[in-house]
Structure 1
Amino acid sequence: MDFSSYFPIWNKLTPTQQQILERNAVLRKVDKGTVIHNGTVECTGLLLVRSGQLRAYILSDEGREISLYRLFDRDICLFSASCMMNSIQFEITIEAQKDTTMWVISADTYQRIMKESAVVANFTNEIMATRFSEVMWLMEQIMWKSFDKRLAEFLLEECSLEETNILKITHETIAGHMGTAREVVTRMLRYFQNEGMVRLARGTVEVTDKIKLEQLQND
């Protein structure tokens, strides 16, 4: 399938705009673990995921990570083109969580079309609003929700995404997603194991009682 079938508002663009986008959209394949964008990169450009999974996260001065959101097939990443938006002051890192194929559109190209098309400008604002809503939701979770509930929710979400109850994931990786220390994750997972909700092995977390996790999440 080509670029036009993945770009959400393709049919609302003029033929000239369509031609500019198609000509400038570069299909790129990256391996799992590849850092696509970070604070040291001046401006990667707009990313449109064809297949795979990307993770957007921020990094503290102490080196602690916290995931902001993830991107899947047909999702668009604007923060990687943050040079278009002078109000964006924080540094964000985009990493491939799975082998990923995506289109990269230069910030200059997208900005040119956005300036002349109200449809593209509105679409861009909607994406930004959605992403900021996700970040605000995350902040609320961190501030007001206990860690055991957050971890239960994370494990259930991972099972749904990976379509398996046996998650090949380390405590360090979970800590990176959740913005906490590995020791905190290990302690809580051991508690979950004692309660019969998970089974731990090296490099894996097996969810053994989804109902208990769901009850914990919703209490």
Structure 2
Amino acid sequence: MNPPQSFQSLHEEAEWLVQRYFPRLGTELVNLFLQEGKLVSVESQSTLIREGQYIKVIPVVLRGLVKVFIASETKELLLYYIEAKESCIMSFAAGLHNDPSRINAITEEDSLLLLLPTEKVKEWTEIYPAFNKLFMELFDQRYQDLLQNIQLVLFHNLDERLLHYLQERGRHTHKPVVELSHRRIAQDLGTAREVITRTMQRLENEGKIRQRDNGIELV
């Protein structure tokens, strides 16, 4: 399904995206998404979820990119990204059991989100098997992401972790150059900026990356 050349409104764009991303959910549930959900357009670096917050709505990304991470007073650690047609499964789990969120989420790009009421999502998982299956698939995907992150932290050195991070960032943003500062990358990997700068230089000397004025290019 090709998009029209332009949309007359955000609601028109959202309707087209929901129908495109979730055809197997059926017309009835897709219409409920649009009727019950709240459509919001948010700028990059907007906070969506804070640790300790109770989840009243579950975000579905229609356009853009969201970063999910954990944080202490001094460090952060990237857990995974949420792309278009995905949702935050950890928010879903917290909302399902009325538990406070254990994660933080911010937009990494200007994003279009559909916020689904938690109570409605609970109801739909019981009524619509296709919807329940969709969230089970997202659970599995996020589990694989988290397992991979644990393996990288435990069994790989920082050079390998950084290279993997840059590859994943490029894949998620669909850009050949990673447009992030060393400080931002250090935050995501839970280390110091100086350590990232030294590691970047080493990777560049090995011919694995190129550092440019506008970011970092994988070779």
TM-score, L = length of structure 2: 0.80
1:76 match: secondary structure = coil
Q: CA deviation at 1:206?
A: 4.2
The one-letter amino acid of 2:91's match is S
- Pick closer, same or farther for the CA change 1:200–1:39 going to 2, 3 Å: same
- Name the residue aligned to 1:156: 167
Give a deviation string over 1:153-211, Cα, whole Å, max 9, x none: 2223334444554432111111122222222211211222333444446773344xx1x
Task: Find the aligned partners of 2:154 and 2:56 in 1 and give their Cα distance.
Answer: 32
Structure 2 residue aligned with 1:107, among 114, 118, 129?
A: 118
- Pick closer, same or farther for the CA change 1:120–1:200 going to 2, 3 Å: closer
- Name the residue aligned to 1:54: 66
- Pick closer, same or farther for the CA change 1:111–1:162 going to 2, 3 Å: closer
CA root-mean-square deviation: 2.6
- Name the residue aligned to 2:9: none
Give a deviation string over 1:49-104, Cα, whole Å, max 9, x none: 111111111113x3311111111121222322333343977611111000000101
Q: How do residues 140-155 of structure 1 correspond to structure 2 at under 5 angstroms?
A: 140-155=151-166
Q: Which runs of 5+ in 1 are unaligned?
A: 211-219
Q: Which runs of 5+ in 2 are unaligned?
A: 1-12
Give a deviation string over 1:12-49, Cα, whole Å, max 9, x none: x7x3x454333111111110000101124211422211
Contact 2:65 2:109 in 1 (8 A): yes
Contact 2:67 2:105 in 1 (8 A): yes
- Name the residue aligned to 1:217: none
The answer to whether 1:188 aligns with 2:199 is yes
Identity value in percent: 20
Contact 1:47 1:78 in 2 (8 A): no
1:9 match: secondary structure = helix
Q: CA deviation at 1:131?
A: 0.9
The one-letter amino acid of 1:92's match is I
Q: CA deviation at 1:117?
A: 2.9
Contact 1:44 1:80 in 2 (8 A): no
TM-score, L = length of structure 1: 0.80
